[in-house]
Amino acid sequence: MNKIFNPSSILVIGVSEHPNNLARNIVANLIDFKWTGDLYLYGKKGGRYLGYEIHTEMTALPDTIELAVILTPAVTVPDLMRSCIKKNIVNLVIETGGFSEFSEAGKSLEDEIKAIAQEHGVKFVGPNGISIVNRHNGLCLPFMRLIPAEILPGGLSVISQSGGLALTYIGLGRKENLGVAKVISMGNKSSLDEVDYLKFLAADPDTKVIGLYLESMDRGREFMAALQDCKKPVILHKSNTSEQSQVIAKSHTAALAVDDDVVTAACRKCGVFRVHSFQQFINCAKAFSIPAMRGDNLMVVSRSGGHAVVAADAAAAAGFNLPALSEEFVDKISRRFRAAVIKLTNPLDLGDIFDIDYYITILEMALERDDVDGVLLNHVFQAESEFASTLRLVQKVETLQLRHNKPVTIVLFSSVSAVAKLMGEISIPAFSEPLAAIEALTVSLTHKCNLEKNAQTLTPLPGVAGDIARPLFAEWLDDAARRDQTLFADQALTLMQEYGLPVVPGALARHPHELFEESEELGFPLVLKAVVSHMSHKSDAGGVLTGIADLKTLEDVGALLFERFAVNPGFCGVLMQKQVDTSLELIVGARRDPSFGDIFLLGMGGIYAEILDDVQVMPGPLNREVVQAMVDGLRGARILRGARGKAGIDMELLCQVMARLQVLLNDYPKISEVEINPLVFSAGSGMIVDARVVVC
């Protein structure tokens, strides 16, 4: 990867003297951005461009070229790759389109270049992308002309599945004084993908912040592992979450959507900042371009009382603390006020002080305080008369925040032209409203907390002890696969029981007369459930009868269930269970995801599971802290913890259930989905009432 981003020599393939030739732009960009390595050009017709010979024979080129950039018709790419391999060039950038994103014929070509690369150990960027930029060494390979002044050197690296969005982030970053380290347009990701680039950027000394735009994620588990190893802040803009966008994305970059809730959960687990808009992306990036918040104590300084109130509300909503001002601090500042008409508090309203240069002193006093972790500065200025003093103020802010290692977020209010002119004169970012500044400070503090959590020792879930009837279950699973891919309810509950989980006592009656035999041992009241392999919602189909208190009722309703469902080919009997008291119900489940592996689900259960949609999902593996975070993420978390004198759930039992589901999936790869609904709790203890196991 280092040879791709830091090559000592480059071959650009596809150059001609024709003025509309796009490969010429690659050459011009390298020159404009002052790349200093050896540059070679190759094209069918030969000639010269910008003083360089356009070679027509590969044999005339040296064997020491480290990187080749290909921009020719798709059909020519496989043979050009073979020619490069003969010249010992194993690192490529393929900008050509017309592969799997275009047609079936293009997909065949893409499969061919992937096979060539795999056979010969070739790594390449693309195809179907605008390629890469390394702003710190002059490497600039996009096929459109770029201007060095519009791409500042800095610490933000962008990995994008869309070349257009990569350029958008660069442009927005330039407006906000955000400098760039690396820009990567992945295209179809046929050789290198987000996992490879993330690992590279995590170790890249020039990269301080990593931003990603993704439309698909094929290696979710490896992606999460790379994220957990990365100590740098990561921002993810994930799109392609709707059916409509999937159609566009597939035609654009051959992308497939990944379950959006899983992506969000993976971000939460790995401490990634997921955003949903360009501006959110840039605000996050700005948060990491200034010193980090070390705590939640914030001082708000404002030139306008109204702006101060707005900022204070936003700070309070985000959970920041506004420490009171000391008497010494107030006394010193109050001497500069012309009239005693403003009460000096935090937020600090400086509307009566017109000496903007004195704001520098106030900021320094604020940053020197031990109980201030950061400052939000609302600054309203007159476009003409106060521009020079404002420029001095903002330039001094950069010095002060570096000296004290504390962030100062500046919110500028003036004419559009004045703010734009000021941004062109300074080197730090600014914000357009207090809420955006507060969001950036929140991101900064959250990243600090994430790093602290990652440094903690996590508590593993309990293991599974005892002998488990694995041969029996293997037979059941094979039978389910032949039948209709779902275990019968009694089998699923037996499986849970064998894995050490508490299951409500019950028995399967295959004939009506068996109901009476089993009822003597179970005792009343009872619940009867029709056992039908393909039926997910038995209650909706009249397959669940509760409150059966005596033998006469059992005889009547039992016969009714057998009569109602006996004609169904998936019917195998009636499950009779002891009716238990219920105060809380959970749904607990797991499923296989082709990208992220095992995905676990936790939510408010019973009939409300789908109605309320109060669920949390999380990619495995799990630990106690993750399970607790899933509970805390539910809207009903306060109820589950216990409220108004009522017992909550047994967290130890819940951890055991999740642990055993995790082991169950590892033991039986044929299982594609497990659902426990409900897991009921009464007086703190819990039992499984119903379960469903689906086989792939």
Q: Following DSSP, what letter does each residue of 598-632 receive, concatenated?
A: EEEEEEE-TTHHHHH--EEEEES---HHHHHHHHH
CB 200 within 8 A of CB 191: no
Strand, helix or coil for residue 332: helix
Least reliable range by pLDDT among 339-343, 431-435, 464-468, 479-483: 339-343
**Domain 1-127 homologous superfamily, CATH:** NAD(P)-binding Rossmann-like Domain (3.40.50.720)
Output the pLDDT for position 251.
Answer: 37
SS3 (DSSP) at 255 = coil
The mean pLDDT value of the chain amounts to 89
What does DSSP say about strands 544-548 and 526-532: parallel, antiparallel, or unpaired?
A: antiparallel
Instruction: Kindly report the number of other CB atoms within 10 A of residue 609's CB atom.
Output: 20
Q: What is the pLDDT of residue 4?
A: 98
pLDDT at 84 over 70: yes
Q: How far apart are CA 85 and CA 652, in angstroms?
A: 59
Question: Taking the CB of residue 450, how many other CB atoms lie within 10 A of it?
Answer: 16
State pLDDT tens for residues 483-526: 667 888 888 898 898 888 889 988 888 888 888 877 878 888 98
What residues does each domain of the chain span?
A: 1-127, 151-289, 298-432+442-454, 505-578, 584-695
Please answer whether residues 304 and 349 qualify as being in contact, where contact means their C-beta atoms are separated by less than 8 angstroms.
Answer: yes
Tokens 């105060």 label which residue?
A: 583
Q: Which residue type, as a one-letter code, is found at position 493?
A: L
The pLDDT value recorded for residue 35 is 97
> Is residue 567 predicted with pLDDT exceeding 90?
no
Q: What architecture is the 505-578 domain classified under in CATH?
A: 2-Layer Sandwich (3.30)
What CATH architecture is 584-695? 2-Layer Sandwich (3.30)
Q: Which residues contact 540 (CB under 8 A, 6 or more apart)?
A: none
**Which region among 29-38, 329-338, 675-684 has the lowest average model confidence (pLDDT)?**
329-338
pLDDT at 477: 79
Q: Are 127 and 159 in contact (CB under 8 A)?
A: no
Are 505-578 and 584-695 equal in CATH topology?
Answer: no
Q: Is-contact 629 436, C-beta < 8 A?
A: no
% of the chain with per-residue pLDDT over 70: 92
- Of 153, 97, 89, 98, the C-alpha closest to 121 is 89
> Model-level pTM?
0.87
pLDDT at 657: 92
Please state, in angstroms and rounded to a whole number, the distance separating the CA atoms of residues 108 and 106.
5
Residues 6+ positions from 656 with CB-CB distance below 8 Å:
461, 462, 500, 501
CATH superfamily of 151-289: Succinyl-CoA synthetase domains (3.40.50.261)
Lowest mean pLDDT among 89-98, 249-258, 685-694: 249-258
Provide CB contacts within 8 A for 499, sequence distance 6+: 464, 468, 660, 663, 664
Q: What confidence category does residue 344 fall into, taking pLDDT thresholds of 50, 70 and 90? A: confident
User: Which residue matches tokens 């597939």?
Assistant: 250
Q: Is 602 left (phi over 0), alpha (psi -120 to 50) or beta?
A: beta
Measured CA distances, 55 to 31, 47, 59 (Å): 18, 8, 9
CATH tag for 298-432+442-454 (out of 3.40.47.10, 2.20.25.90, 3.40.50.261, 3.30.360.10): 3.40.50.261
pLDDT tier at 437 (50, 70, 90 boundaries)? very high
Tokens of 650: 């047994």
Tell me the mean pLDDT in the region 622-636.
91
pLDDT tens sequence across 196-249? 999 999 999 999 999 999 988 889 999 999 999 999 999 999 886 655 444 444
Picking from 429, 385, 391, the residue whose alpha carbon sits closest to that of residue 410 is 429
Instruction: Say if CB 2 and CB 57 are below 8 A apart.
Output: no
